[in-house]
Structure 1
Amino acid sequence: MTERSRTFTWSDPGQTASKARERAGLDFLEAVAAGELPAPPIADALGMRLVSVDSGSVAFTLDPAEFHYNPIGSVHGGVHATLLDSAAGCAVHSTLPAGTGCTSLDLAVRFVRPITTDTGTITCVGTVVHRGRRTAIAEARLVDGAGRLLATATSTCLIQEAKS
């Protein structure tokens, strides 16, 4: 058996979270994408990168690696779900004013194709489909470099307004 190891570091998530409350969602996510604010620990753990942000839309990339694998030799579905949930949630967050946050109420994932290290860089784009006062609905699509669909999801997010 050949063993492998991996080491990674992350920044204090509390410091980044406090900045999230001080800034409008779009401004906050742009600062994370630009590296002005650290990414959350889950992004460091998985190696996912927030690469673009617009109001109502975000994109993450990830290079599939062996440490993402399940026991049958492909990327674990939890990695797909994490990317899809992150993209959907951040798309909603990009529409929020300062002091307002959101959290996932549900996530419906559909797996289309397996992902392996041979797949190459994958991109997950989240887009807001509906934004109400208390809830929002977002879709996310996970594709390979050729644009082939790998997985898709829909999510409902609860909008948590700033406390007065």
Structure 2
Amino acid sequence: MKKIPTLEFIKNMIAGKLPKDVTTNMRYPTAISKTLKMKIVNVEKGIATIEIDADSEVHGNQQGTIHGGLLCELADAAIGTAHSTIINDDETFTSLELKINFFRPVWKDTLKAFATPIQSGKTITVYNCEIKNTQQKVVALATSTVMTLRGDKAVGR
């Protein structure tokens, strides 16, 4: 198997042009993305957009709207994908913090999470992630602090 950079791997995956004999240091698509049927629709260096067809019949809470945990996972997936495009092959990362504000309920809609860095340092990067509905209204806004791991800290993750 030929190993290629994560950004190149994801771009090829989105375009449907991913050769069978290539891999990357990250696991894409992720297991949770496959389970929840989320898909990466755009990626650039440090930036990612992830989409989900959210339906309260599948992703609902006790009030009958989309569960906030699904919105957290959508934001976390977008932020993690964005960060995976800026680290080196021998590095990995972990979330230190995730905060989310919910602005409007959703019952059934295609939601997109747009993750972009606010501050990018050598070890710590802070991301902003807007989750919008098909009317381009913000459903939720998340911020997350991500730490890049190197050397022994990156082994086995």
- TM-score band (shorter)? 0.7 to 0.9
- Which among 127, 132, 155 is matched to residue 121 of structure 2? 132
**Count of aligned residue pairs for this structure pair:** 143
Letter in 2 for 1:46: L
Find the residue that maps to 2:54 and give its secondary structure.
Answer: coil
Give TM-score scaled by structure 2 length.
Answer: 0.81
Range 87-96 or range 73-82, more displaced: 87-96
After TM superposition, the structure 1 = structure 2 runs for residues 2-151 of structure 1, keeping only pairs within 5 Å, are 22-34=3-15, 36=18, 38-65=28-55, 66-117=57-108, 120-151=109-140
Letter in 2 for 1:108: K
Range 120-129 or range 36-45, more displaced: 36-45
- Larger strand fraction of residues: 2
Return the offset for 1:39: 1.1
Question: For residues 90 and 8 of structure 2, what CA distance do their matches in structure 1 show?
Answer: 12
Find the residue that maps to 1:70 and give its secondary structure.
Answer: coil
Unaligned runs of 5+ in 2: none
Question: For residues 60 and 15 of structure 2, what CA distance do their matches in structure 1 show?
Answer: 29
- RMSD of aligned C-alpha atoms? 2.2
Counting aligned pairs with the same residue, the percent is: 27
The question of whether the paired residues in 2 share the 8 Å contact of 1:25 and 1:97 is answered with no
Q: 1:101 to 1:61 in 2, by over 3 A?
A: same
Give TM-score scaled by structure 1 length.
Answer: 0.78
